[in-house]
Amino acid sequence: MARRSATQVRHETLAEPPSLAEQADRHALYQQAVNAPGAHIDFIRKVYRGMRKREPRVLKEDFCGTALMAATWAQRSPHNRAIGVDLDAEALAWGQRHNLELRGPALARRVALVHGDVLEDRPHRADIVCALNFSYNLLLARHQLLAYLRGARRSLLPGGLFLLDCIGGTEAVIDFSEERGCQDFTYIWSQQDFNPLDHSARCSISFAFPDGSRIEPAFAYRWRLWTMPELRDCLAEAGFTGVRIFWEYSDEAGEARHVEIDREQNQEIWLAYVVAW
């Protein structure tokens, strides 16, 4: 075996260890910083049971990414099934490995991941169809949004509900950045080049670490911030006959609660669920 020179040994000794950013997994960071499947599922079950007097069993998660929501739904009950649809093959493969296979074959068999466009018509039918984390904002044109909503309506089983979350407010329609500390990293959301003529913007998610390293950007998007009136008009045009709006309020402890409203004052940033059928 060839002997290493003293210079080689010295260089190896002095080599810097990989940074925290180089060691990090961007999909795992995204799930930790952005996803809140448990809270979404609690809301879905509460509203569905209140309206339909039974438990929803099949959920279709559009724009599912790593399908954490679909996996969590299936994990809630052995009677639950889920479908996840996304164009990102890398995210789906990551979700298959980390969110399904690691939770056991019984759960993985009850979740179907579909690599494809949510605008394409598919045979899957569900009690709940959802597009959360404002993912439908990736649809930049009205005809795309309308086509998606029509497809979502066709995907509903009898008595099914369609669920979106919506963001708005005076600070949602400007360029801005937001930082939020997580357990061992900082989540950074940035919205740039906001165009008031079509509500489009460049958006990105970055992660910063205590050693000064960053993943910047970890994810980048072009999206259109659809307004609540636009959503409601398109839902009606797509054939939905009813819409309920649940505004998010926070108590002193920072806990969120959702209250059905038909009128509210504008705020710097507001969040709401839109439920349609």
Contact between 126 and 153 under an 8 Å Cβ cutoff? The reply is: no
Overall average pLDDT of the 209-231 stretch: 97
- Of the candidates 94, 132, 127, 92, the one whose C-alpha atom is nearest the C-alpha of residue 112 is 92
| 189 close to 171: Cβ distance less than 8 angstroms | no
In CATH terms, the fold of domain 23-171+227-276 is: Rossmann fold (3.40.50)
Domain ranges within the chain, ordered by starting residue: 23-171+227-276, 175-219
For 228-251, write each residue's pLDDT tens digit.
Answer: 999 999 999 999 999 999 999 998
pLDDT of residue 4: 55
| pTM for the whole structure | 0.91
